[in-house]
Structure 1
Amino acid sequence: MSNALLSQRLNQATHAVHERLDAAVKAHDPFSSRENFAPFVAAQYLFQSQLQALYQDAELNQLFDDLAQRCRAQQARADLADLETDVPQTLPATEPPASQAAALGWLFVSEGSKLGAAFLLKRVAALGLDQHFGARHLGEPAGGRAEGWKRFTRSLDALPLSEAQQAEAEAGALAAFERFAELLQHSYARASAHA
């Protein structure tokens, strides 16, 4: 495993937790109605808001040239307005990543989700939503999804990380998936309470 590229290692390490999250999303059926999609967007907003500090981090921006432009918190916030849904109170953040290596794992999860967003964007079309209204946070990044992901993983895989740092990145990626699952649960519970 230590010979694998970091992006491959993170993919393998997060496979099971990613599948569990996909199942949790499906269980909430976010594409059945706009009302059911709104808590999904709220979870995305909370997650991206928590990541804003990483996307703005000066040291991380030296590793990834376009990092500051990649955050989607503002798009998710605009989507909530389109869906006539209140912006949720930011939940107390989980502990911020303990190291730059752990932060790389969080960014890997956030950036990787843009690939799956292409499929989700097709699903929300049935709700009359698209990357200009209600589903901006799922929109295609400038330069294209595949190209943006390749640029990100090329930079990630080129970093000279020790085995210990790679393990920290792995722990960060797992923590990011768990955090999104927690925010998803919170957002749907909140929506049920206000229904």
Structure 2
Amino acid sequence: MTAMPASASRWRRLQSDTDAVHRALDARIMAGDPFRDRDRYGRFVLMQLRFFRDIDPLYAEPGLCAVFSDLAERRRLPLAEQDVRDLGLDLPPSEPPLFGGAIDLPAAMGWLYVAEGADLGSPFLLKETVKLGFDESFGARHMRGHPQGRGLHWHRFTNALDAAALSPEEEPRVAIGAHSAFARVNALFEAAGLTD
């Protein structure tokens, strides 16, 4: 794939820069067949929960809230926690936070880009959860779409991402953050036991 021109929007450049790793992760997850049965789906939800725990501090970070005015309402950790309970599973013990102390805002924007992009792709996954008896009100709450539609919700996010004022030194850290987020999801997928 050719690189996006420098004049392209930040999110389009980010999309291009992470396309290969994103496609590889999607293929790996679907090869893991997380919707084969309730047990595998439970492992998938726990994987999602761990990722949402990782990024949860970002939703209260003042610098990020200044960029994304609706950031707090995009938080999905409570929904994932309820999904775990719906499935009759125990919440896993807390782990040391990935984002302790001062948060690198440009890198955090990359992490949020990955989280929001995953939400945009949730309708496909929701169709699979219905076959297992779960939906946006039970067991798959964390995949719930925004009342005004996922597309509009995504465009609000990408517009804010594009409008964020970053220095030339900060700009590359957005992509570094996105790659780190994809690597973290890969590691969580591996730990979830869905590779068999």
Output the TM-score relative to the length of structure 2.
Answer: 0.91
Relative to its length, the structure with more helix (as a share) is 1
Give the CA deviation at 1:8. Answer: 0.5
Q: Which residue of 1 aligns with 2:80?
A: 76
Counting only pairs closer than 5 Å after superposition, residues 54-69 of structure 1 correspond to structure 2 as: 54-69=58-73
Q: Which residue of 1 aligns with 2:136?
A: 131
Is it true that 1:14 corresponds to 2:23 in the alignment?
no
CA–CA distance in structure 1, aligned partners of residues 183 and 98 of structure 2: 10
Q: List alignment gaps of at least 5 residues for structure 2.
A: none
Output the TM-score relative to the length of structure 1.
Answer: 0.91
Q: Which residue of 1 aligns with 2:8?
A: 4
Deviation above 6 Å: which 4+ runs of structure 1?
none
Contact 1:102 1:172 in 2 (8 A): yes
Is it true that 1:146 corresponds to 2:151 in the alignment?
yes
CA–CA distance in structure 2, aligned partners of residues 129 and 160 of structure 1: 41
Moved more, 145-154 or 86-95: 86-95
CA–CA distance in structure 2, aligned partners of residues 90 and 21 of structure 1: 25
Q: CA, structure 1 residues 16+93, in 2 after alignment: closer, same or farther (shift >3 Å)?
A: farther
CA–CA distance in structure 2, aligned partners of residues 99 and 49 of structure 1: 17
Moved more, 179-188 or 72-81: 179-188
Contact 2:67 2:160 in 1 (8 A): yes
Q: Which residue of 2 aligns with 1:160?
A: 165
Q: How many residues align?
A: 191
Matched residue SS, 2:139: coil
Matched residue SS, 1:29: coil
CA–CA distance in structure 2, aligned partners of residues 20 and 61 of structure 1: 31
CA–CA distance in structure 1, aligned partners of residues 98 and 57 of structure 2: 13
Q: Which residue of 1 aligns with 2:178?
A: 173
Q: List alignment gaps of at least 5 residues for structure 1.
A: none
Give the CA deviation at 1:88. Answer: 1.7
Q: Which residue of 2 aligns with 1:44?
A: 48
Give the CA deviation at 1:20. Answer: 1.5
Moved more, 105-114 or 159-168: 159-168
CA–CA distance in structure 2, aligned partners of residues 22 and 177 of structure 1: 10
Cα-to-partner distance string for 1:120-160 (whole Å, 9 max, x where unaligned): 01111111110000000011123211010000001111122
CA–CA distance in structure 2, aligned partners of residues 95 and 17 of structure 1: 22
1:23 is matched with which residue: 27, 30, 33? 27
Instruction: Report the RMSD for the aligned CA atoms in angstroms.
Output: 1.9
Give the CA deviation at 1:95. Answer: 5.9
Q: CA, structure 1 residues 69+98, in 2 after alignment: closer, same or farther (shift >3 Å)?
A: closer
Contact 1:2 1:163 in 2 (8 A): no
